[in-house]
């Protein structure tokens, strides 16, 4: 249901549920009286539950509606099964729990949910002093806690109504909920899984309603604006009028660059937005820029603004699986930015505007090499050239001027580039079996930068890694995201060196970092993909350790598989997500599934997914090589044509089987022959 009124929620009294043993009724009643005097709204089960009422349902409702749970600690409550149920229910709902000690008790006898909390002792100080501390605890971050209660009730209502769309959040209510989940105070309990699911479902529903109409309108508006500028410039021939048109053109160029970088990037990473929609919007930007370039207005501005558009095209084509075209667009961006760099380097001195454009172009050049390196590394497995591209990206970045106030962002950019270089070096060393030469120091250097940017202290968290400061700005969310990737890289490096115990703490922290970012950006597809990847890496590490780590490994691998499948199902046409899903199937069947029939089904699904990837772009040797390996796995499981499910699968398996029977190997060439037998869709 929509928000019933934020102001109303803030003005109501704070609702408190008093959990206690009936043998401590005098202390509980005294607390209730004093809380009422202090303008709180306490609930005490002795007076608030009617005779004959189902106690568990009623208590559950009171706990659900409460902003905080005050638990009276004593030997009697420690031995009470009802008190234990109340605390466990409060913990399940993510409620703020405040233990108040009425009588000393052995801490080992208390419910586990209380062991890590701060106690307020009424047994060894004056009631007034202790009650003052209780009020302080109740009032800390009160608005956040009240919203926790409200969203918890709404999420439970949504669940009770079979997740009806009519119960979802929208508009300001959704924006407030997303801000709330991203800005949890240190003293507050985290949002529950149900609350996060409720918020994410609301965002998906809103995106589905808005994206096609809104994106089409934006595209039309920008194209129309571009043609208007072009016509305006050519119509006004007088010098004075030409100057005015120049200003309009410059504004349009700036708008197109912002649109290409920000809006299209946002569409590309938003879950559920079809890539073809994003591509059509980007094409509208490209047409506008072409029109502006034809007008002849400020040639350098036009050329600089075109580079990020080509980069966005390269990224979208890569996601679609069109790797050859993606490389072409990335190389176009590199060439154009390189030509511009040469121009600015040879035309000196530069005016103020060209000096600004020169700096933007260096950042564009760095981004162009990074994008090219990503395609080479992730889609072509060409690690040597990827390493060269990443190094060129760093070189361009180091030439760019740093404006006052942008020093931290510069450090983050350099750290990210170092992580890219280290990752390429890692893969290159693996292909040559040169594990001793894996550059662990490069990844550690990147982590040192993030530690400073995130204001990490020296205290270790439960992963054995320095604790991270509060993610109170967008920059810190970005830093934490990049840190997760670097942690994953260092963990993989330790794995390759067979130092699994050392690697475990980095994978553990990588999962925590990715989870932090996912909470801050619940509908960001790229963040969810990063999160699934960290669960995969962590599960693989635990699996290699075996023994008592096996159960935890199974949990991590299953989580990876669930997220990968969800992302792929909601974003058809995204080759990167489809690849993750296919790999998750193979990963899960290798480490988790045990039932032979289930295993056979999973292997068939794996081949079917790899077939879909291979058909999407038959010029991608990596995809075709993976498909050849998938067929070998299929055959190795004694599966046959009749075991295939889809029509394309039957044709492919039959054609490949005939080649193998004739003594041929499952090579890329033979995969292409088998694919050719499948009629185009």
Q: What is the pLDDT of residues 134-171, one digit of tens each?
A: 998 888 888 888 888 888 888 888 887 777 776 777 66
Averaged pLDDT for residues 46-75 = 76
Average pLDDT score, the chain: 80
pLDDT at 426: 86
Bigger pLDDT: 104 or 462? 104
Phi, psi of 629 (to 5 degrees): -65, -40
pLDDT at 452: 80
CA dist., res. 458 & res. 217, Å (int)? 51
Bigger pLDDT: 222 or 287? 287
Confidence of residue 680 (pLDDT cuts 50, 70, 90): low
Q: What is the pLDDT of residues 515-532, one digit of tens each?
A: 989 888 887 888 899 999
Is residue 240 predicted with pLDDT exceeding 70? Answer: no
Confidence of residue 248 (pLDDT cuts 50, 70, 90): very low
Is residue 343 predicted with pLDDT exceeding 80? Answer: yes
Q: What is the pLDDT of residues 582-602, one digit of tens each?
A: 888 888 887 775 667 778 888
CA dist., res. 64 & res. 195, Å (int)? 13
Bigger pLDDT: 574 or 387? 387
What does DSSP say about strands 68-73 and 96-101: parallel, antiparallel, or unpaired? parallel
The region of weakest confidence among 4-13, 135-144, 183-192, 566-575 is: 4-13
Is residue 6 predicted with pLDDT exceeding 50? Answer: no
Confidence of residue 362 (pLDDT cuts 50, 70, 90): very high
Cβ–Cβ < 8 Å for 188, 139: no
pLDDT at 393: 94
Averaged pLDDT for residues 178-191 = 76
Averaged pLDDT for residues 260-283 = 64
pLDDT at 531: 93
Is residue 196 predicted with pLDDT exceeding 70? Answer: yes
Which of 237-246, 287-296, 384-393, 598-607 tops mean pLDDT?
384-393
Confidence of residue 9 (pLDDT cuts 50, 70, 90): very low
pLDDT at 530: 92
507: CB partners within 8 A, 6+ apart: 487, 488, 491, 534, 537, 538, 541
CA dist., res. 573 & res. 294, Å (int)? 34
pLDDT at 110: 87
Averaged pLDDT for residues 561-590 = 86
pLDDT at 422: 87
Bigger pLDDT: 166 or 612? 612
Confidence (pTM)? 0.60
259: CB partners within 8 A, 6+ apart: 218, 222, 285
Is residue 209 predicted with pLDDT exceeding 70? Answer: no
pLDDT at 10: 47
pLDDT at 437: 61
pLDDT at 441: 80
Is residue 225 predicted with pLDDT exceeding 50? Answer: no
CA dist., res. 636 & res. 628, Å (int)? 12
Buried b (16+ CB within 10 A) or exposed e, 259-287: bbbebbbebbbbbebbbeebbebbebbbe
pLDDT at 2: 36
187 CB neighbour count, 10 Å cutoff: 12
680: CB partners within 8 A, 6+ apart: none
Which of 116-125, 202-211, 335-344, 596-605 tops mean pLDDT?
335-344
SS (H, E, C) 645-678: CCHHHHHHHHHHHHHHHCCCCCCHHHHHHHHHCC
Q: What is the pLDDT of residues 385-398, one digit of tens each?
A: 999 999 999 999 99
Bigger pLDDT: 506 or 273? 506
Is residue 278 predicted with pLDDT exceeding 80? Answer: no
pLDDT at 613: 85
The region of weakest confidence among 119-123, 150-154, 209-213, 333-337 is: 209-213
Percent of the chain beyond pLDDT 90? Answer: 17
Is residue 250 predicted with pLDDT exceeding 70? Answer: no
112 CB neighbour count, 10 Å cutoff: 10
């Amino acid at each position: 249901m929509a928000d019933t009124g934020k102001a109303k929620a803030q003005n109501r009294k704070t609702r408190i549920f008093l959990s206690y043993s009936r043998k401590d009724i005098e202390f509980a009643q005294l607390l209730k009286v004093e809380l009422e005097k202090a303008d709180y709204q306490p609930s005490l089960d002795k007076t608030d539950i009617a005779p004959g009422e189902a106690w568990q349902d009623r208590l559950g409702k009171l706990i659900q509606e409460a902003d905080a749970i005050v638990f009276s600690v004593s030997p009697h409550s420690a031995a009470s099964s009802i008190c234990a149920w109340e605390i466990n229910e409060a913990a399940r709902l993510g409620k703020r729990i405040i233990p108040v000690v009425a009588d000393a008790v052995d801490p080992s006898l208390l419910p586990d949910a209380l062991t890590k909390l701060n106690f307020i002792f009424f047994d060894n100080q004056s009631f007034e002093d202790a009650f003052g501390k209780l009020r302080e605890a109740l009032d800390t971050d009160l608005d956040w806690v009240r919203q926790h209660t409200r969203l918890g009730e709404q999420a439970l209502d949504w669940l009770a109504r079979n997740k009806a769309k009519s119960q979802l959040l929208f508009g300001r209510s959704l924006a407030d909920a997303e801000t709330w989940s991203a800005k949890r105070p240190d003293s507050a309990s985290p949002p529950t899984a149900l609350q996060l699911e409720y918020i994410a479902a609301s965002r998906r529903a809103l995106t589905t309603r808005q994206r096609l109409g809104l994106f089409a309108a934006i595209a039309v508006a920008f194209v129309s604006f571009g043609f208007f500028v072009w016509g305006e410039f050519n119509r006004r021939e007088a010098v004075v009028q030409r100057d005015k048109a120049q200003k309009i053109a410059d504004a349009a160029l700036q708008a197109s660059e912002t649109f290409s970088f920000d809006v299209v990037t946002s569409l590309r990473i938003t879950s559920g937005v079809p890539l073809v929609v994003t591509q059509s919007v980007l094409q509208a930007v490209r047409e506008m820029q072409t029109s502006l370039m034809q007008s002849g207005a400020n040639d350098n501005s036009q050329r600089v603004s075109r580079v990020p558009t080509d980069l966005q095209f390269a990224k979208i084509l890569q996601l679609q699986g069109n790797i050859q075209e993606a490389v072409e667009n990335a190389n176009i961006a590199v060439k154009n930015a390189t030509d511009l760099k040469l121009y600015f380097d040879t035309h000196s001195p530069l005016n103020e505007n060209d000096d600004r454009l020169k700096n933007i172009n260096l950042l564009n050049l760095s981004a162009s090499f990074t994008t090219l390196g990503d395609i080479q590394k992730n889609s072509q497995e060409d690690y040597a050239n990827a390493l060269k591209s990443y190094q060129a990206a760093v070189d361009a970045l180091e030439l760019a001027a740093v404006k006052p106030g942008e020093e931290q962002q510069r450090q983050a950019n350099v750290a990210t580039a170092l992580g890219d270089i280290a990752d390429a070096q890692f893969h290159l060393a693996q292909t040559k079996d040169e594990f001793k030469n894996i550059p662990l120091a490069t990844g550690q250097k990147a982590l040192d930068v993030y530690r400073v940017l995130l204001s990490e202290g020296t205290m270790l968290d439960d992963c054995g890694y320095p604790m991270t400061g509060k993610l109170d700005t967008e920059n810190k969310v970005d830093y934490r995201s990049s840190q997760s990737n670097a942690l994953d890289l260092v963990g993989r490096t330790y794995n390759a060196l067979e130092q699994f115990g050392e690697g475990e703490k980095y994978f553990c922290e990588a999962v925590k970092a990715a989870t932090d970012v996912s909470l801050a950006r619940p509908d960001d597809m790229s963040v969810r993909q990063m999160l699934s990847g960290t669960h995969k890496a962590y599960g693989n590490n635990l699996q290699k350790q075996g023994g008592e780590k096996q159960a935890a490994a199974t949990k991590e691998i299953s989580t990876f598989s669930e997220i990968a499948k969800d992302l792929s199902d909601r974003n058809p046409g995204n080759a990167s997500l489809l690849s993750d899903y296919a790999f998750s199937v193979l990963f899960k069947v290798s480490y988790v599934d045990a039932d032979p029939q289930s295993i056979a089904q999973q292997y068939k699904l794996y081949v079917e997914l790899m077939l879909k990837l291979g058909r999407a772009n038959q010029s991608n040797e990596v995809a075709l090589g993976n498909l050849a390996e998938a067929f070998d796995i299929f055959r190795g499981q004694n599966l046959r044509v009749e075991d295939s499910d889809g029509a394309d699968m039957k044709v492919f398996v039959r054609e490949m089987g005939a080649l193998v029977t004739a003594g041929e190997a499952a090579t890329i060439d033979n995969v292409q022959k088998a694919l050719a037998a499948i009629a185009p869709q």
